């Protein structure tokens, strides 16, 4: 996983063309004006999901992971905690759903990071993550999750 700011995104150009396209899209789009929902960047290979929500308590949440996509989670406004951990034998609580590219893990995160506007986190399939969490008190967050396909 990588946690950084969009201002430093050029440092990650070596991750490949898909990451370069994702960061370019974040830089060139009017992120505050985008409608909520799915936005294609490069078909099913790279797409963005724009969402707004109020942050929630960590106690009722579980870590998630994906197999088909890498997440680039970018905070437009608000702030949140994200719990995270490396995949290392944790207990599955919801088996993988291929249609939703999603599974849940029963273990608690080992780490928590606060993300604020301009911050992003990249989560590969071996990076368990628990986003959308309260940092202090519940606030409204506008976040963009760019999904980058792991395959060709």
Give dist(CA 10, CA 28) in Å, integer.
14
Instruction: Give me the number of domains the chain comprises.
Output: 1
Give dist(CA 131, CA 122) in Å, integer.
12
For 62-111, the pLDDT digits (tens) are 999 999 999 999 999 999 999 999 999 999 999 999 999 999 999 999 99
The pLDDT of 10-31, averaged and rounded, is 97
* CATH number of the domain residue 97 falls in: 2.60.120.370
Average pLDDT score over the chain: 97
Q: Which two tokens stand for residue 25?
A: 């899209």
Give dist(CA 117, CA 7) in Å, integer.
11
Report the half-sphere exposure of 53 (CA within 13 A, side-chain side): 15
Under the banding of pLDDT at 50, 70 and 90, the label for residue 61 is very high
Give dist(CA 130, CA 111) in Å, integer.
10
Predicted structure pTM score: 0.95
**Domain coverage including residue 111:** 2-149
């Amino acid at each position: 996983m990588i946690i950084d700011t969009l201002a430093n995104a050029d440092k990650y150009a070596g991750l490949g063309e898909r990451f370069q396209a994702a960061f370019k899209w974040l830089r060139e789009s009017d992120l505050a004006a985008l409608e909520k929902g799915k936005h294609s960047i490069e078909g099913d290979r790279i797409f963005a999901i724009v969402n707004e929500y109020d942050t929630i308590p960590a106690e009722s949440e579980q870590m998630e992971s994906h197999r088909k996509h890498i997440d680039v989670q970018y905070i437009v406004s608000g702030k949140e905690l994200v719990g995270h951990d490396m995949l290392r034998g944790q207990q599955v609580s919801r088996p993988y759903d291929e249609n939703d590219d999603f599974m849940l893990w029963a273990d608690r995160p080992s780490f928590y990071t606060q993300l604020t506007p301009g911050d992003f986190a990249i989560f590969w399939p071996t990076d368990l993550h628990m986003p959308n969490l309260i940092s202090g008190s519940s606030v409204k967050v506008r976040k963009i999750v760019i999904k980058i396909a792991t395959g060709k």
